[in-house]
Structure 1
Amino acid sequence: MTQRHYAQPEGRKARILLVDDHAVVRFGIAQLINRQPDMEVCGEEADAGAAFSAAERLKPDLVIADLSLKESSGLELVRNLKARFPSMPILVLSVHDESVYAEMAFRAGAMGYLMKDQALEKVLEAVRRLLNGSVYVSDAMAVKLLQKQLQKQPLPGASPADLLSDRELEVFELIGHWKTTRQIAQELHLSVKTVEYYREQIKRKLGLKNAVELVQHATAWVERTSSGVPPETGPS
């Protein structure tokens, strides 16, 4: 099957789909984009299911998506969009620490990652870069990615983001938000047994002895990543 080419013809505005569960965020970004002569917002959605349907219907040139959506995973949306529209660029816009989540987003299929506190300043640059077939990430994150590529191994003081798979890290984060196994299963569309398996894998990889230590470390890790403090790994 021939992939769709997403570079817009000369004279036509690039059409962008916004996916974020905060209306005020969508409004601010839409206002900024719609003032540009070469791009416009063609649709806005607040959850993954509606966003995927909108992408099917609207065929946007680019999607801007948050990782935290109503009762759904932004990473899962990125994976699904990439599988359905392989050549459509996706820019992740998120409050989540890029040192933890940018690599996950890229592995899922995104071509750019932008922190929300830089959105108004950098989003137009990021969008244009993706539309031109390039990628976007902050300078600091680019250095980290290059270091890891050169070393071919986790950096010293590896955090859970370095030790866990993408799905394990999603489960670990939800544990840190005090979600039950059943709630995690519902949010990630997994079986309870599968979540229990991931919990055991996480404990093994992080050297945690029991469920209490798992919750304690997950909670502490979520607090650190939310506050911008470099996350730590499991007990030594």
Structure 2
Amino acid sequence: MTKQPTEKSRVLIVDDHPLFREGLQQMIDRDPSLVVCGEAADAVQAMEAINTLKPNLVLVDISLGNASGIDLIKNIKNQHDDLPVLVVSMHDESLYAERALRAGAMGYVMKHEPAKTVRGAIYKVLGGDIYLSERMASSMLVKFMKGKTDEPLSPLEILSDRELEVFRMLGQGKGTRQIAEEMNLTIATINSFRARIKDKLHLKSSTEVMLHAIQSFREGAEK
């Protein structure tokens, strides 16, 4: 079991849902060894808070309104390589956990897990270890042992991080123009992403891409 630190570890919460930030803060502040040093609703606020508040750990959600948590993790690791990041998200770990670790996160825990599990993940990452659920750790171990599994855990694994982000936003019912604005990209670039998604997933039309996106992320939210 990871030894808990004697001094309070400073935790920064990055999530675009105020109610969840409040609940997570209450849970963390009840722990005598942890304290929430700040909150951020988006990637820009997160980077500013990291620079000013100097947290020991950052908790990051995958979807941050107009930004990707995966991109934020990459930015954090580029500028603060020794700062540990733990993803706390509603999005299915089978789709995002490996991507988060490749981006530089040290763990992934689902939002629906009990408080005891989330605290355990926090302590494990603070102790320098990687946290994954037992199911996800086993799946990744199989992949490493075989080099690659015969089939990915999800067909969406073949999408790049940016393609998956566009696909997720399509699943939320967002249009091409809105996605382009939120990702700070051109409409032509988003259309290019959509075309690559259609080809990679062997779908016949843009409508099928949209329907498949809605279905995929509705199922992920219900797990």
Q: Is residue 20 from structure 1 mapped to residue 8 from structure 2 by the alignment? A: no
Shift of 1:71: 2.5
Correspondent of 2:132 among 128, 133, 137? 137
Per-residue CA shift, 1:188-230, capped at 9, x if unaligned? Answer: 22222221221111111111222122222222222222222xx
Shift of 1:153: 2.8
Shift of 1:22: 2.1
Q: Is residue 192 from structure 1 mapped to residue 187 from structure 2 by the alignment? A: yes
In the other structure, the counterpart of 1:156 is: 151
With normalisation by structure 2, the TM-score equals 0.90
In the other structure, the counterpart of 2:109 is: 114
In the other structure, the counterpart of 1:182 is: 177
Rounded to whole Å, the distance in 1 between the matches of 2:163 and 2:170 is: 10
- Moved runs in structure 1, 4+ residues, more than 3 A? 154-158
Shift of 1:158: 5.6
Rounded to whole Å, the distance in 1 between the matches of 2:115 and 2:153 is: 32
Percent identity reads: 44
With normalisation by structure 1, the TM-score equals 0.86
Rounded to whole Å, the distance in 1 between the matches of 2:47 and 2:66 is: 14
Rounded to whole Å, the distance in 1 between the matches of 2:49 and 2:144 is: 36
Stretch of structure 1 that moved more, 181-190 or 133-142: 181-190
Shift of 1:49: 1.1
Gaps of 5+ in 2: none
Partners of 1:154 and 1:162 within 8 A in 2:
no
Partners of 1:73 and 1:187 within 8 A in 2:
no
Partners of 1:160 and 1:169 within 8 A in 2:
no
In the other structure, the counterpart of 2:70 is: 75
Stretch of structure 1 that moved more, 104-113 or 32-41: 32-41
Per-residue CA shift, 1:120-146, capped at 9, x if unaligned? Answer: 121221111111111101000001111
Change (3 A) 1:76 1:207: same
In the other structure, the counterpart of 1:85 is: 80
Shift of 1:118: 0.8
Correspondent of 1:53 among 48, 65, 78? 48
RMSD: 1.8
Rounded to whole Å, the distance in 2 between the matches of 1:119 and 1:49 is: 29
Rounded to whole Å, the distance in 1 between the matches of 2:19 and 2:217 is: 25
Shift of 1:150: 2.2
Gaps of 5+ in 1: 1-9, 229-236
